[in-house]
Structure formats: C-alpha cells, structure tokens
Chains A and B, each alone.
Chain A
Amino acid sequence: MKVLVTGISGMLGRLTALKLLQHGYEVIGIDRRPWPEAPEEIELFQADIRKRPAEEAFRSHRPDAAIHMATVTHLTQTSPDRMRVNLYGTRAFIHHCQAYGVKQAVFAGRHTFYGAAADSPLYHTEDEPPMSAHTFPELADLVAADLYAASSLWRYPEIATSVLRIVYTLGPSKHGTLASFLRGPNVPLIAGFDPLFQFIHEEDAAEAIVTALAHKLHGIFNVSGPSPVPLSKIVRAAGRRPLAVPSTIFKLGIGRLGLPQIAAGAIDHLKYPIVVDSDAFRRATRYTYAYDERETINSFRTAS
C-alpha cells in the first residue's frame, strides 16, 4: 500500500515515515524542507504542498492513502504566511486526495484546538467547539485547518478521513512546542498557576498516526498518551528550573528579559489546562502508548 506524507521532513513526519516503512508501507514524501538522510526507499518531492510539483506527486504515484502534516505550528512564523500554508495547504491536500483517488486521508492536528480557560473542563471530547479561536487568535488558522479538514468527512464521504487532535509531543528529537518551551535551563512559568499538561512520546505519536491509517478511521479523534502532569513537575523532571513570573510582567516581557517569544494568547495555555479524552480513539483502534510519563520526559532530558 502506497502512502503519501506531506510535511515529511518535520520531526513527526520523519518518525511517521520510518514507522510506515517498518509496517511495510511504500512511502512518498512532500516537503519544502529537505531530508538529507532520508532512507532510499522513500521518494521525496521537495515542493510546497500548494504548488504544482506537489500535485505531480499525487498524479504520478496515485497513493492509496495520504497523511497531512504540512502545517506550520511554531508561533514565530508571521501570521499571514502561516494562514496561507495551513489553510490553502490543507485545501490542496484534500483536493488532490479527491482528484487522484486517495481512499484514506489522515490529518494530524493539535489538541490546542480546544483552548485553555478558567472554566474549561478537564477532558475535552471531540464534539466540543474550539474555544482557542477567540482566546488565542494566533491559533485561529490551525483551528480553521482542523475544521476545514473535518468538513471533508461529509464533503467526500468516499474517502476515509480521520482528523487527529494530538497532544504535545516530547522526546529525544527535542523538537515541538513543548520541547522548545523547555529548551533553556530556566523555564518561566506564570506565578500562581500550574496547569496540567498532556504529552506523548514522539514515537508513540507517530505510531498513533500509523494506527489511525491501519484502522481506516473515519471521524475526529483526540490522541493522548499518559495521564496529565502539572507543568512545574514536567519542568523539574526535565532537569530545568521553574521560574515563577507574575502574569503582568510575563505579558510585558514576552520575547525580552529572557522570556520566550510566545504569542500573547499562549499565556492562557500556561495558566489553564488543555486535557483531552482519547477514549474514542482507544476504543476504535485498541491503541496503547509505549512510553509512560516519566520515560517520555527522561528521553527528552537525556538526549544529546
């Protein structure tokens, strides 16, 4: 079975591609970025998903399934370009799937979709609306991409589409939103708040994506790993020092004074939890994670 992966050169893209190979799939990849040490078996198209060469990959290979991971998630990228990549990229992906007879599509999205607020419940289910759109405008394009991808569930019912909302990944690659936040020796937290964070080992996340594909899932699914841990405990377990900064100073000092360059809306994510219920995914696939909360953090901590 032939699987096309967009955003294959990203951390999760690479891991997923390698897992697909292990499971005996044939893999084709599309990415703007190169992947120099990619295995020979993988044919790479170095192209933007929105551009013609990407379409050629679909046209010439006629993949049976496709996984969309070409979304820009880091928040330093200026918004207009992100918006284009994330929305038009998703549109192009869905269009090509439909036009070239792809039978199965997986959209790898984020659990931050649900947003964080003082009154948001622990354990979001898939039917909940995206509250992050108004509290965190910088995430609006990812939310829109998620909803847009989900619209193909009724638009193209002949394609088995699954939209995955995956929690933060963590692991030896040291890539990803949570890993970047934990980069320095001191990690600034908001004083008086300590939200539960949900994370999954990056290998487990890649395995979950392959599992969704193998089960031909049709629908929206939260994907999570071990039970959540308060952020300050994650910071300490990662060998970092938590630094409590009052919220007002944090807001003023973003990008300065050694505080991370994060979007203002992200402050709520450092105050309140986003915790998802992934029961539906587990029931549909019998998926279980391999790395528990401590092993996951240790793999990040001890990686060179």
Chain B
Amino acid sequence: MFDNLLSIDPEIAARIEAIDLEFNKFGIDPYGIDKNDLTRFVSAFAWIYRYYFKVDVYGLDHVPSQGRGILVGNHSGGVAIDGMMVMGSMLLDAEPPRLPHGMIDKFIHEFPGVSQVMSRMGQFTGNPDQARRLLNAERLVLSFPEGARGTAKLAKDADSLVDFGTGFMRLALQTKSPIVPFGFVGGGDALPTIANLKRLGRLFGVPYVPVTKWILLVPKPTRFQLLYGQPMHFEGTGHERDEVVSEMVDQVKERIGDLIRQGRQLREKAISEEDLVL
C-alpha cells in the first residue's frame, strides 16, 4: 500500500521482525496485518512519535511482554492521539515490541483509505467476538472504555473521566486476561478543543467534528506523559450481575484516575519520577 510513498527504516524493520507474529507467503498474518505495510507505516510514524511529539513513558514493564492482556486507559483530545501514542510506546519503546489491537469506533472503517490502513495494522471495529478471539490468541487488546464520549471531552475537562463501558471487564473475566491500566496526560494541550460540532459530524458520518482554539484540526507539538500501572487481575466468569461487574470497573477507573493525577503532577513538575506509584 505504501511501497512508493514511505521508505523502510532498518531499525524499525528489526523491531517489526521482533514482534511475535506469523506471516504467510504474502507477508500477511492471520488477522490481515501486512508486514511490509506495517514496517513502512511505523518507519514514518516513528518520526512523529519521537520528534513531533515527545512521550515520557513510565511503567512499560507492567505490560506483559507476551500473552494476552487488555490495555485500558483514558481518552482525551478530540481525536485519538492517545491511542496512537500508546501504539507508539508498544512498538517503539517496549522490549520486545508488541502490536496492540485497538478496538476502534465503527465509523472509522466506513472511510476509504482509513479502513484499508487500519485493516493492515490490525485495528478492528470494537466487537466482543473480535476482542475475545484476539485475547484467546494471546494478543494484546487496547480499549478506551469511554469511547467517543472520551475523545469528545473539551480541553478544560481533558483530565476528567466520563462513564466507562463494562465490556472490557466481562472480556477480561471470560478470557482470564490481566488488565493493564494506563493514564495519558497532555491530549488536551495537543489539540485543545473548544467545541464539538455534532450536526456537521453527522453530515460526514462521524460522531462530531472537533473545533480547536486555532480552528484547524492540527495538533501542536506536545510532550505527553503515559503511565502504565500494575496489571490488575480479576476473578470471575464474566457472567456476573451488572452491579458486580460495575464495581470491578470502578476499581480500574479509580486506578486510571490516580495515574492521570500522577501524570499531571509530573507534567507540572510537582513530583519527580521517583515519587510515582504505578
């Protein structure tokens, strides 16, 4: 897809090689990930991740280096820059690198080009069947339980948390997957949204069109803090009553809120790295 557009960085090629994936004779893994496309895409993305933005990542060793797991965190900043940065940290900073499968909003796969890129990078429409299958195949799944309501937070509310869906918790219980909570800080600074145009969004087939301080939807170079907390293990079958599951979800939400607070303090230099409780 990117053969004539993007070139391969040998360092990135080595990282992609190190990911625990099996490719067929066409360089495609069973879930449609294209090794060549992925290498070219990440080669270009590495520049954005390392130089346009800058991500201070903490607690990366809390993410299992192999086997199933669900990364669960907060959304902010109009569009899912946070999701991109989490992907970046797992592909470019983690040793060995891993490719998380984002559970993305349905509207994304309606768009030409975007759908093709997402399909070749292993980013699927969020769907319990899909997530369960990936976890059972010992993959890493990335979930933002706030969904589009999360990205829709205006800049002033960037560090807050809105309602969490409970799907991720039932999946974790059913598949006995550890949950790795993470907090992401700075999304509201990269793309400070002052309003969301819902009606215009409907016209384009998206939930809303974010309007930034500078009108355009271009994020400014920003330093982010990304904090991974200790894996959380929950016992159960996934068939518990809603109250029981909601209570577990609240524990994760609280943990993420705590990670965001620490990230914010770190960002404002009120604490240093040694003070972190991940």
Binding site for B on A (CB under 8 A): 118-123, 128, 190-196, 226-230, 233, 237, 246-247, 271-273, 292-294
Roughly how many angstroms separate A91 CA and B115 CA in the complex, as a whole number? Answer: 41
Contacts of A192 in B (CB 8 A): 111-116
Known: A192-B116, A194-B116. Is A118-B24 also a contact (CB below 8 A)? no
Which chain A residues border B106 with CB–CB below 8 Å?
118-119
Name A247's closest neighbour in chain B (CB-CB): B112
Partner of B133, one of A119, A121, A194: A121
In whole angstroms, what is the CA distance A125 to B133 when docked? 11
Do the beta carbons of A271 and B26 come within 8 Å of each other?
no
* In the complex, B82 has a CB within 8 A of chain A: no
Q: Take A229-B24, A272-B109 as given contacts and tell me if A122 and B116 are in contact as well, using a CB distance cutoff of 8 Å.
A: no
Quick check: is B130 within 8 A (CB to CB) of the other chain?
Answer: yes
Given contacts A118-B109, A192-B112, A233-B28, 4 further A-B contacts (CB under 8 A): A122-B32, A122-B130, A193-B115, A293-B25
Chain B residues with CB under 8 Å of chain A are 1, 24-26, 28-32, 34, 106, 109-116, 119-120, 124-125, 127, 129-130, 133
A-B interface contact total, Cβ < 8 Å? 75
Q: Cβ of A293: which chain B residues have Cβ within 8 Å of it? A: 24-26
Kindly list chain B residues whose C-beta atoms are within 8 Å of the C-beta of A123.
133
User: Interface residues of A: mostly helix, strand, loop or mixed?
Assistant: loop
Chain A residue nearest to B111 (CB atoms) is: A192
The CA of A268 and the CA of B133, in the complex, are separated in Å by 23
State whether B109 touches A230 (Cβ < 8 A). no
Residue of A nearest to B133 (CB): A123
A193 adjacent to B116 (CB under 8 Å): yes
CA distance A191 to B117 in the complex (A): 12
Q: How far is the CA of A122 from the CA of B26 in the complex (A)?
A: 18
Name the one of A128, A226, A230, A294 contacting B32, with C-beta atoms under 8 angstroms: A230
CB distance from B146 to the nearest CB of A (A): 19
Within the complex, the shortest CB–CB distance from A148 to chain B, in Å, comes to: 25
Q: Is the CB of B133 within 8 A of A273?
A: no
